[in-house]
Structure 1
Amino acid sequence: KNFLDRREMIAVNIGGAGMVKASGQSYELQPRDMLYLGLGANEVSFASVNPAEPAKFYLLSAPAHQSHPSQLIRIGDAKLLDLGSQATCNERSIFQFIHAEGVKTCQLVVGMTQLASGSVWNTMPCHVHDRRMEAYLYFDLPEAARVFHFMGEPDETRHLVLRNEEAVLSPGWSIHSGAGTSNYAFIWAMAGDNVDYTDVDPVAMEELR
């Protein structure tokens, strides 16, 4: 009857300020805020605060077996990890919104990575995690810029060429890494057997083909 009768969902705002209504509650999302809606949430609707600067909601959903409270997570409240360096072209800030020590979910794990100016590589050295799939949504790319996203088994990789606000799905056995013609941001989201961000199998550089 309702989309979330047996599912959970996360709405990420990558546009202007927006409003989400769910189960009689209203939530205002500023750019890069996220809203978690638990199993059973109903009467969900989306709107822009200012139609001249429209919100853009990226929706992520997975089956749920338990109801967790709906919760708004501001970009400023996310767990921040600064990683990489200019020397390796991967200086970046990782914002963990949904993780095991934070907002509770059944299987969704979600965050955002922002690459610093002059850095273009994400998730290299790469990894796989056969207990979870992962989706990337690349955004904040200039119109003429592209991201070359690498996927596939480590010894037989392929690439996709992605533009601004395009997404890619990676199964658990696939690497997921990218290099852009400029810096960019991306939303990463996982779903599967656990919500352990650190449960990964690293891939050595010499294994890549």
Structure 2
Amino acid sequence: MSDGTGAGSGVRARPRLTVLSGPSGVGKSSVLAELRGRDPELHYSVSVTTRKPRPGELDGVHYHFVDGAEFDRMVDAGELLEHAEFAGNRYGTPRAPVEAALASGLPSLLEIELQGARQVRAAMPEARLVMLAPPSWEDLVARLTGRGTEDPAVVERRLAIARQELAAEPEFDEVVVNDDVRSAATKLLDLVVGPLPGA
């Protein structure tokens, strides 16, 4: 685990790629929003997706929204570091911005689903995988059913996928429990910019 000497010391470790994953409804967007205010130098990858924007989402900020044909073109051209299908939509990580950030000395953070995290681990074994987990299964169920934005069948599919994702915890290097957004963001930031174990 991180020894806590990174984020607070003001000393950057060598740049690395951190992959944040976790089940739908665990609060990844809230934790990342908190993180953005803490460290403006950190590079955040903006994923490409074929799903439609939700209210308040902006193209190029939250996601790059594309159609299926453009997504296929990016896959065929090798422009995506990883790509996967989730809940009927496709998501991918543009490769060039991540490689450019790391080459310039900036730590890079990806927020992607389990399928994509596994692809990144295969392509870049040095990447650190972090799972954002709920305080309890009951808490996650309450968050998903409390959204009120999706029909029950979609929620059930998300819960089934969430069970699979949480079962993959042993594949991750670190687990951060999101019982408090500010606390979770602090722990995540230390993992992203702090020294690697043994460094």
Instruction: From the two aligned structures, give the one with the greater helix fraction.
Output: 2
Establish whether TM, by shorter chain, passes 0.5: no
Higher relative contact order (CA 8 A, sep 6+): 2
Instruction: From the two aligned structures, give the one with the greater strand fraction.
Output: 1
TM-score when scaled to structure 2?
0.31
TM-score when scaled to structure 1?
0.30
